[in-house]
Amino acid sequence: MLKVWPMIFILMILSISGCTLKFDEPVNNTSIIQPTITPTPTPIPYIPEHSTVYVEIFGSEFNPSVINVVNGTTVQWTNQDSGQHAIYVNNINSPPLNKRETWNYTFNRPGTYEYNCTIQSWMQHGRIIVK
């Protein structure tokens, strides 16, 4: 029986040592966080398309009477009145326009252009602003 006690004693020590808490030392995290770099988008320059803008002459009025356009834009006037109209713009006079006839002019320089009807000079004047 004496030989059993040393064996029990060794088993108790082993079982007690297995129940002890073991604290791990904190891990030193030395990794460096890299910031995320988002590329800045390159702005696309505004490239205006050359287009045609329409002005209707009706009731002895220009509609619209004021237009903002980009360089290279063509303006087309259409006479919807029964009487004749002729457009005077930038020192150029259109031929007389009968009903449903049109006349075009392309604005190739920035500026403000006043226009009017030379046949019915009492009509409102129009304005085209070219940027």
Cα radius of gyration (the chain):
44
| Average pLDDT estimate for 50-77 | 93
Residue 119 in domain: yes
| Average pLDDT estimate for 45-61 | 79
Residue 101 in domain: yes
Tokens 């075009």 belong to which residue? 104
Model-level pTM?
A: 0.62
**Spatial strand order in the sheet of 102-107:** 61-63, 52-58, 73-79, 102-107
The answer to whether residue 4 scores a pLDDT higher than 60 is yes
Greatest Cα pair distance, the chain, in angstroms, is: 138
Residue 20 in domain: no
Counting the structural domains of the chain, the total is 1
Residue 28 in domain: no
Show the domain range for 89.
52-130
List, in sequence order, every residue forming a beta bridge with 78; answer none if it has no partner.
56, 102
Give which of 15, 90, 6 is closest to 103, Cα–Cα.
90
The answer to whether residue 61 scores a pLDDT higher than 80 is yes
Q: What is the CATH number of the domain that holds 70?
A: 2.60.40.420
Residue 86 in domain: yes
Residue 88 in domain: yes
Residue 33 in domain: no
pLDDT confidence tier of residue 46, bands split at 50, 70 and 90: very low
